[in-house]
Structure 1
Amino acid sequence: MKIMYHHRTRGRHVEGVHIRGIVHALRLLGHEVSIMSFPGADPEHESTIQGHSKRGRIASAITRLPGVLFECLELGYNVVTLFRVGAAIRRQRPQLIYERYSLFLFATVWLARRHGIPLVLEINDSALVERVRPLRLKGLARRIEAWCLRHCTGLVFISSYFRDQAQAAYGQIAPSVVTPNAVDLSRFDPSRFDAARLRADRGLAGRIVCGHIGVFAHWHGVDAFVEAIATRLAEVPQLALVFVGDGRTLPAVRALVAERGLSDRVLLPGRVAHEDIASWIACMDYAVLPNSNQYGSPMKLFELMGMGVAVVAPDYAPVAEVIGDGDTGWLFPRGEIAACVQRVLDLATQRDEHRRVGDAARRYIERERQWRNNAEQLLTLLPAEGAH
């Protein structure tokens, strides 16, 4: 089947990983997939969109525009979509359009209906949830979203919470499936790494390592976690923290670590390329996700679990859909940072528990959360004759 994957994102970082994962899985299932990207963004060649090109710099500038102006440009992007996707439809004649849904974008749904092509929307964002970037034209965004969710062929939600919110707000929407994120186990395979050598190279030999991968943003709670655990690290002298990533709160975390004299206990390597993430996870005995949100399906969760590293995580519904407490990870009451710290400290010396739960986490990923599973599930939304 000929499939067109359309998205309006910059195709970078986590969104790029997700796009590549789905596209590669569909191709492995025997389908012909083309990607229609935001001009200047190609998730299959991420190095070309890191802001070095003129288009990349323009895209970066656009994202920094004031809220209402930025949203008006998002709305105006429908004109671009009508011409670009319309031309691609006439040229490629796809049998399915799969779109990573973006706020204010309705042109693809309209085009698919006009040409009689099935269209499946993947819902990672919504006008119904609290977002990192506040939504100004909320009423208009919700009206457009309701129309899109009712008039596409099918919907892929990343969590049950997302689907429940959409059904409550918009009533009768298109048929849907709930498909959390996934991982490429060929890249996230612990057998590829010499963990002892990596630990020695990074000053972690002889340590119990609790790690984290992700953006240093306030809502991820890394700064609050480090501040809360800093005064208690002496309780477990062997414990070291490795927090990989970059973001707004990283300078404050670095300053705290330096001020408390914890540079030998808290390693902050900053942002690393996605292809190097697995080597850092290979150094970890277990991991922590200090905070998340009501609707998200954190990619880092799947990459850690795929490497056989179990996670201490908040009990938000999308996380609890993936982690069974004491089975494939450990849960604590969301928003309670003291409970998170206590769970991390209690588990620190339980090496057998790290291995038992970590092994179960990897088996779960192998069984249910590879990109192939996501691709197979989205195809069930098509009419029987279009799913082959």
Structure 2
Amino acid sequence: MHIREIVMALRELGCDVQMQEAPGLDVLNSGEKQNQTKAGPGDRSVFARLFKYLSLRAPQLLFELAELSYNLWAYFPLSRKLKNGKVDLFYERYAFFSFIGTVLARQLGVPTMLEVNEVVGIERARGQVMLAVARHFERKIFQRADRILVVSSFLKQVLVQRGVSEEKIYVIPNAVRSDRLAKDEGSGKGIRQKLKLDDCTVIGFVGQIVRWDRLDLLIEDIADIPAVHLLVVGPCRFMEELQHTVEQLSMQHAVTFTGAVDREEVSAYIDAMDICVLPHSNPFGSPIVMFEYMAMRKPVLAVGVGPVTDIVVDGINGCIFAEGDRKEFRGKLKRLVEDQELCERIGNAGFEKVLVHHTWDRNAEQLLHIFKGLRDIS
């Protein structure tokens, strides 16, 4: 989604953007209707099915070898595009072991901009095996890039600690589409009726659920709050464990898991929520769902990790609790449940924050501004 949105935003600003993708994939045409767990229109080729199988089933070592081998395939189409003399900027979303783009761009004198969402050695949902090899390539790639865009201040600090020049690093968090801002307000009524949630305060979470989201603790934390219902939207590979937690606490009446929903329906589900939570998050990534919550004017209660506090100011455009402090989380959640005026105030402030600073249009404008400065220097 991030790749698709930034490309579309750049094109709307008048840029001629050419895509270089893995064979069989079509990011731009995978579309808003792509289900979060099922293959979209761009995922029907043999290559795409193979990639999907490798990503889900292959041992980590084999997966990383496949990532490394991608450089061999990408060399020829990339070199053809970069050698035609019409490329002003090579922009790449950084992926582990993917070095061929920056190598070719440097050789051919094409300015390089690298978007970095994670770095080697930081805990992630998918582990890593060939750490030394990945670090070697990462160091070379970061050295060759003319500018690096990171999604959080945490990542900037890490890169500086690893020897990357601070002057070439820019923090640009994730965003939402400007045409989706509050577009589906009111659409949640049908969801609430369908799920029989009209007579309670709905606490909501949306995402592709991984263990660090700590939904098991979230379920426990709402157990003592009367007249609330937890609505969890998104796929989860360990759903049976979460359902077991619900059963142990006798909370079947107070928790609903929807599983994966169509991408176009996500904003309606968010609209069905009264309070949106981010109970945990990794320290480096910029959670897109946080911006989606704010874009729907929902009060956000989120863990105080760097990518969140880059955006949310406690008590102003959201509420923050210290990582691991369940007492503070429960206290702030109870206050939001009881104080409708507070919810409306911080929900509106969050919306204004996103409207002004965190749309994909705005991100694309910043990208072009950085590129202009780079071109002026050269």
What displacement does 1:260 show? 3.8
What displacement does 1:256 show? 2.8
Q: 2:18 aligns with which of 13, 18, 34?
A: 34
What displacement does 1:338 show? 3.8
Query: Is residue 2:48 matched to residue 1:56?
Result: yes
CA distance in 2, matches of 1:358, 1:192: 13
Contact 1:225–1:341 (CA<8 Å) still a contact in 2?
no
Instruction: Give the counterpart letter for 1:325 in structure 2.
Output: D
Instruction: Give the counterpart letter for 2:86 in structure 1.
Output: R
Counterpart of 2:37?
none
CA distance in 2, matches of 1:188, 1:53: 34
Query: Is residue 2:280 matched to residue 1:296?
Result: no
Describe how 1:106-145 pairs up with structure 2 within 5 A: 106-145=99-138
CA distance in 2, matches of 1:367, 1:290: 26
Query: Is residue 2:68 matched to residue 1:84?
Result: no
CA distance in 1, matches of 2:246, 2:124: 29
Q: Let me know the Cα RMSD of the aligned residues.
A: 2.1
CA distance in 1, matches of 2:318, 2:151: 19
Deviations 1:55-91 (A, max 9, x none): 2321122223222232222222111121121123345
CA distance in 2, matches of 1:254, 1:25: 40
Q: Which runs of 5+ in 2 are unaligned?
A: 35-39
Counterpart of 1:377?
366
Query: Is residue 2:266 matched to residue 1:277?
Result: yes
With 340-349 and 190-199 compared, the bigger mean Cα shift is at: 190-199
Deviations 1:182-237 (A, max 9, x none): 0013224255534434422331113211111012211111122113333x13xx22
Percent identity reads: 30
Q: 1:368 aligns with which of 351, 357, 373?
A: 357
Q: Which runs of 5+ in 1 are unaligned?
A: 1-16
Counterpart of 1:256?
245
Describe how 1:322-361 pairs up with structure 2 within 5 A: 322-361=311-350
With 111-120 and 295-304 compared, the bigger mean Cα shift is at: 111-120
Instruction: Give the counterpart letter for 1:335 in structure 2.
Output: G
CA distance in 1, matches of 2:370, 2:132: 29
Counterpart of 1:266?
255
CA distance in 2, matches of 1:21, 1:346: 36
Deviations 1:281-304 (A, max 9, x none): 111111111100111111110000
With 125-134 and 356-365 compared, the bigger mean Cα shift is at: 125-134
Contact 2:321–2:329 (CA<8 Å) still a contact in 1?
yes
TM-score by length of 2: 0.91
What displacement does 1:173 show? 6.3
CA distance in 2, matches of 1:195, 1:244: 13
CA distance in 2, matches of 1:194, 1:372: 25
CA distance in 1, matches of 2:239, 2:85: 45
Deviations 1:128-170 (A, max 9, x none): 4222222222122112111111111211000111011011112
Contact 2:303–2:321 (CA<8 Å) still a contact in 1?
yes
Counterpart of 1:22?
6
Rate the CA distance shift 1:80–1:313 in 2: closer, same or farther, 3 A: same
Rate the CA distance shift 1:190–1:326 in 2: closer, same or farther, 3 A: farther
Instruction: Give the counterpart letter for 1:57 in structure 2.
Output: R
What SS does the aligned partner of 2:115 have?
strand
Describe how 1:172-211 pairs up with structure 2 within 5 A: 172=165, 175-190=168-183, 192-211=185-204
With 197-206 and 132-141 compared, the bigger mean Cα shift is at: 197-206
The number of equivalent residue pairs is 367
Deviations 1:96-143 (A, max 9, x none): 111000111111001111221111100012114222222222122112
What SS does the aligned partner of 2:122 have?
coil
Contact 1:313–1:319 (CA<8 Å) still a contact in 2?
yes
